[in-house]
Amino acid sequence: MSLIRNLAVMGAASASVLALAVSPASAATTHIHSGSITGPDFSGAVVATNLGSISVQTSLSNATCTSAVQNGTIESDGTDLTVTSATFSGCTSDLGSVTVTAQNLPWNGGSVTYTREESDPPGGPDGTLTVANYTVGAKVSFFNCIYSGTLTGNGYNPDNPDRPDPSVNQAQAEIVNGVVSKTSDSFFLCPDKATVNAAYQLVGSGGEQLWAYSS
């Protein structure tokens, strides 16, 4: 039962993070920019890669993935955040490796919201990121655990001193103690919930540096 819990959670962890990698914006007042905070509006394809290992915890054990790449699209006003593909590797639990796969793609219905005010002090997140309808499975042998749901994380512009990895000058996103839930298609011994911790960087598919700002 401990092994199944580890494996199940791992998939949810990896999946959850792609959306977290998108820089914040809001449908009404926020714009995602390319190149700088005053650059042209950006919409289209984005690529997210993990910053460090993805950690997943249950009451019984821990698990990690060392590499994850997710692709998606977003509108310049922060609406229509969609995850179109996701791949994961180097995923292990306390008891060995696990195969993690994205399911039911695309995951659409997400959004980003810029929340910083002019009067706010430096540091802290620039906004929030919501990813909806994601579904990921983790499998060992014939045991398959599937998790689906909505996650919300913090987003950071490339110059934010509190971004998860200050050595990387890109938009970043982070999920801290995010909770995911098991679906009815999972093996009955899979845990009902798991806790995810992960960070990602996000760039445009052409290598563009991305920023979010409200105007």
Give the tens place of pLDDT for each residue, 80-95.
989 999 888 898 887 6
Q: Tell me if the pTM is above 0.85.
A: no
Given the DSSP bridges, would you call strands 44-50 and 193-204 parallel, antiparallel or unpaired?
antiparallel
Question: What local confidence, expressed as pLDDT, does residue 116 receive?
Answer: 86
Ranking 29-38, 55-64, 153-162, 177-186 by mean pLDDT, the lowest is 55-64
Question: What local confidence, expressed as pLDDT, does residue 67 receive?
Answer: 92
Q: For residues 119 and 160, what is the distance between their CA atoms, to the nearest angstrom?
A: 15
Question: What local confidence, expressed as pLDDT, does residue 138 receive?
Answer: 79
> Measured between alpha carbons, how far is residue 14 from residues 38, 40, 178 in Å?
32, 31, 12
Question: What local confidence, expressed as pLDDT, does residue 106 receive?
Answer: 94
Question: What local confidence, expressed as pLDDT, does residue 208 receive?
Answer: 94
Provide the mean pLDDT of the chain. 81
Please say if the pLDDT value at position 150 is more than 50.
yes
Question: What local confidence, expressed as pLDDT, does residue 157 receive?
Answer: 93
Q: Is 172 exposed, middle or buried (0-12, 13-18, 19+ CB in 10 A)?
A: buried
Question: What local confidence, expressed as pLDDT, does residue 71 receive?
Answer: 92
pLDDT digits (tens, 9 = 90+) for 95-106: 678 888 888 999
pLDDT category of residue 61 using cuts at 50, 70 and 90: low
CB 176 within 8 A of CB 154: yes
Domain range list for the chain = 2-214
CB atoms within 10 A of CB 47: 19
Question: What local confidence, expressed as pLDDT, does residue 174 receive?
Answer: 92
pLDDT digits (tens, 9 = 90+) for 162-207: 999 999 999 999 988 878 898 898 888 888 887 778 898 999 999 9
Q: For residues 7 and 5, what is the distance between their CA atoms, to the nearest angstrom?
A: 6
CB 157 within 8 A of CB 211: yes
Ranking 55-64, 130-139, 184-193 by mean pLDDT, the lowest is 55-64
pLDDT: which is higher, 40 or 138: 40
